[in-house]
């Protein structure tokens, strides 16, 4: 399996930004993922397009959870988007897989900010 992870910023609008990833998310490249997420700390809503991430190992899953927790502590949101669910390293661990849900399109995963 190739260790390369590509990332692109697809744009931002009204406090929301989208990062697109391509390739397996594994321990050898999770720093690429984390660096990209940290660059977007100023945005209240970060959408992670994982449509082209076929595989996430346990180490990278930990990095994904860490990024989520860090952003939540800052009062920011993370939305996961994917046309298909990635395959995890340990397929017996169904609890990890069920934590990630897919939405049919990126527009369906962004909700207007609530005031008050």
Q: What is the pLDDT of residue 85?
A: 61
Residue 113 falls within a domain, yes or no? no
In whole angstroms, what is the distance from residue 79 CA to residue 70 CA?
Answer: 14
Domain of residue 35 covers 6-100
pLDDT, one tens digit per residue, over 42-90 is 999 999 999 999 889 999 999 999 999 999 999 999 998 886 666 655 5
Cβ atoms 4, 55 nearer than 8 A: no
Q: How many domains does the chain have?
A: 1
Task: Report the CATH number that the domain containing residue 29 is assigned in CATH.
Answer: 3.30.750.24
Parallel/antiparallel/unpaired status of strands 77-81 and 45-52: parallel
Look at residue 80 and tell me if it is in a domain: yes
């Amino acid at each position: 399996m190739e260790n390369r992870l590509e990332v692109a910023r697809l744009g931002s609008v009204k406090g929301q930004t989208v990062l697109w990833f391509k390739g397996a998310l594994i321990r050898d490249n999770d720093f690429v993922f984390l660096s990209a997420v940290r660059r977007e700390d100023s945005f209240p809503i970060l959408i992670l397009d994982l449509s082209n991430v076929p595989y996430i190992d346990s180490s990278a899953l930990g990095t994904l959870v860490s990024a989520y927790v860090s952003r939540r502590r800052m009062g920011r949101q993370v939305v996961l988007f994917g046309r298909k669910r990635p395959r995890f390293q340990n397929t017996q661990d169904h609890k990890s897989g069920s934590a990630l849900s897919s939405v049919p399109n990126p527009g369906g995963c962004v909700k207007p900010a609530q005031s008050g």
